[in-house]
Amino acid sequence: MIFIDSCYFIALSIKKDQWHNNAISLLDVIKEEDNCMVTDGVILETIAKVGYLGGGKKANIVYNNIKDNYTILTTNNLYDKAMVNHLKYDGSLSLVDVLIVEKMKELKAEKIISFDKDFDKVDGIARIK
């Protein structure tokens, strides 16, 4: 089981992104995983950024790829708990990122694909970059 952060999908979709080549190289890691998961917040962040940088058509393609190939998890039941940890990290982890962390804890997941080094602050999570 592995979680995927929005920065991965953005980098994969936008050729001029600094992490684009890294994202392509991680496709093999994703293919090897049995269950790749994203949160609803990851979809919101990804589509907003890809739409802004690459246009609506590209954002739609990315959305359909995520919807068809990844397990999408809702996080609305975790907002209160996430806000406690948002304060713990003094805002350095976004609310979407803290919701990912809370969902990972809930499912006892330990790996995330992300280029966001702020995940390195979280005990028990290994960031694959």
Q: Say if CB 1 and CB 38 are below 8 A apart.
A: no
Q: What is the DSSP letter of 81?
A: H
CB atoms within 10 A of CB 121: 12
pTM: 0.93
2-127 maps to which CATH number? 3.40.50.1010
Q: What pLDDT digit, counting tens, does each position of 94-123 carry? A: 999 999 999 999 999 999 999 999 999 999
Domain extent listing, the chain: 2-127
Which three-class secondary structure state does DSSP give residue 69? helix
More confident residue, 101 or 92: 101
